[in-house]
Amino acid sequence: MAKEKKKPPAKPRRPAELVKRLLAQFESEDRVLVIIAADPDALASALALKRLLWRRVTNVSITHVNQISRPDNLAMTRLLSIPLIPFAQVDVNAFSKKVMLDSQPHHNASFAGIKVDVVIDHHPVGEASSSYAFCDIRPRYGSASSILTEYIRGANIKPSSRLATALVYGIKTDTASFGRPSLLEDVRAFQYLFPKANQSVLRKIEFSEMRLKDLALLHLALDRFVVRKHAMFVHLGEVSSPDNLVQIADFFLRVDSVDTCAVSGVHQERLVVILRNAGYRTNAGRLAESAFGELGPAGGHKAMARAEMPLAAVKKCCKDTTEENLSRFVMRRLTRAAGPQKTTKAPK
């Protein structure tokens, strides 16, 4: 009896087909709200979607749920004139369509209760991905900006210098200039956009990394860090923005003997943990979810992840929330999830 031939795997949809499906979700009278957790990749993606919907809908507004305080993010929004509205000032019900870019509803507590129509993202697929009218999630891509670049090209739109600059910086940031896992598609998107970008503006954004007042927090981190084999930990207490934690985590990962680092702090009654990983055996996203998932939103990629937990939830597992106890809590949770390792303290 002849064996039944296996059907070949379905070919991925071409960008032109995806663009057609995406645009079919919108009508001329729609007022569209683009919801992001603002970082360079999300900002660039939002600007790209706004261009895709230009003259196709009544209005496109971009709102961010997080505080924008990192110097490069501030420089990007200012130099590229990206129109933004803080989420607290938005009436979600005033918009007929909601789009989420470079994120998914389970990533942030602020997204709770919002019915999202369209999701385009490059993070691991989360809950209820089938409930959206349109969903394009590609976890293997290094950035959402690469995906949106394919949409722009599929729509036969020639990106302006402003849009190309934003997308180039979005790709560079989320792939760490291709030092993090990415695909050939990310490289192709970058190669297409780079000649069209404004190099002077791009350099200005890239060099806006740290403010003078951030040096005090860096000094504190250098004084407090603890190393366990090839992992570095530091708790910084109350911080003005979670972006400060990201800056320190990115800085610590540059240390030659450090493969994984965790930087934590408290912001608006929430314990925030930022993870960075360059090791082969560790997956930062899985580590964050395993260590903190039961207490709040936690997850991310192999190379980078984040967890945010209400202090009220943390107090159920921790006697009190002094800086010393929170530091021990974060280290203990991560150590249990990753396995025991040797400990050394910061040199004095």
Q: Residue 6 domain-assigned? A: no
Query: How far, in Å, are 98, 134, 188, 302, 319 from residue 94 at the CA level?
Result: 10, 21, 38, 37, 44
* Lowest pLDDT segment from 111-115, 145-149, 178-182, 226-230: 178-182
Q: Where are the beta strands (DSSP E) in the chain?
A: 31-36, 59-64, 85-86, 97-101, 118-121, 134-137, 226-228, 231-238, 260-267, 270-277, 298-300, 304-310, 343-345
162-173 as b/e: b if 16+ CB within 10 A: bbbbbbbbbbbb
Per-residue confidence at 53, pLDDT binned at 50, 70, 90? very high
> Can you give 145-191 as a three-state secondary structure string?
HHHHHHHHHHCCCCCCHHHHHHHHHHHHHHHCCCCCCCCHHHHHHHH
pLDDT of residue 87: 95
250 and 112, same structural domain? no
Q: Across residues 74-103, what is the average pLDDT? A: 95
224 and 310, same structural domain? yes
Our measurement of the distance from residue 270's CA atom to the centroid of its chain's CA atoms, rounded to an integer in Å, reads 18
192 and 61, same structural domain? yes
pLDDT of residue 71: 86
pLDDT of residue 4: 43
Between residues 343 and 74, the one the model is more confident about:
74
pLDDT of residue 344: 41
Q: Across residues 207-224, what is the average pLDDT? A: 86
128 and 63, same structural domain? yes
pLDDT of residue 179: 77
Tokens at residue 316, please? 């159920």
Summarised one tens digit per residue, pLDDT across range 28-40 is 999 999 999 999 9
pLDDT at 3 over 60: no
Where a domain ends, among 160, 191, 207?
207
Q: Across residues 169-192, what is the average pLDDT? A: 91
pLDDT at 330 over 80: yes
pLDDT of residue 243: 83
Q: Residue 1 domain-assigned? A: no
Range of the domain at 231: 214-345
Where a domain ends, among 163, 187, 207?
207
Q: CA-CA distance, 12 to 49, in Å (whole number)?
A: 21
pLDDT at 130 over 90: no
Give the count of domains, the chain: 2
pLDDT of residue 81: 95
- Which residue's structure tokens are 């990629």? 301
What share of the chain has pLDDT > 90, as a percent? 66
Residues 6+ apart with CB under 8 A from 129: 104, 119, 135, 137
Where a domain ends, among 165, 181, 207?
207
192 and 60, same structural domain? yes
pLDDT of residue 342: 40
185 and 270, same structural domain? no
pLDDT of residue 113: 81
pLDDT of residue 341: 41
* Lowest pLDDT segment from 36-50, 63-77, 102-116, 145-159: 102-116
52 and 106, same structural domain? yes
195 and 61, same structural domain? yes
pLDDT of residue 5: 46
Tokens at residue 245, please? 């934690």
Q: Residue 179 domain-assigned? A: yes
Between residues 74 and 130, the one the model is more confident about:
74
Summarised one tens digit per residue, pLDDT across range 264-284 is 999 989 999 999 998 778 899
238 and 175, same structural domain? no
pLDDT at 125 over 50: yes
Per-residue confidence at 145, pLDDT binned at 50, 70, 90? very high
Q: Residue 9 domain-assigned? A: no
What share of the chain has pLDDT > 70, as a percent? 92
* Lowest pLDDT segment from 22-36, 205-219, 295-309: 205-219
* Lowest pLDDT segment from 177-181, 270-274, 331-335, 340-344: 340-344
Q: CA-CA distance, 83 to 154, in Å (whole number)?
A: 25
165 and 58, same structural domain? yes
SS percent in the chain: helix, strand, coil, step 5: 40, 20, 40
Q: CA-CA distance, 288 to 290, in Å (whole number)?
A: 6
258 and 292, same structural domain? yes
Our measurement of the distance from residue 305's CA atom to the centroid of its chain's CA atoms, rounded to an integer in Å, reads 8
Q: CA-CA distance, 246 to 306, in Å (whole number)?
A: 9
Query: How far, in Å, are 137, 139, 145, 289 from residue 193 at the CA level?
Result: 22, 22, 11, 35
Summarised one tens digit per residue, pLDDT across range 151-162 is 999 999 999 999
Mean pLDDT of the chain: 89
Taking the CA atoms of the chain, what radius of gyration do you get in angstroms?
Answer: 21
Helix (H, G, I), strand (E, B) or coil at 331: helix
pLDDT of residue 262: 96
Q: Residue 8 domain-assigned? A: no
pLDDT at 294 over 70: yes
Q: Across residues 16-23, what is the average pLDDT? A: 94
311 and 186, same structural domain? no
The CATH code of the domain that includes 61 is: 3.90.1640.10
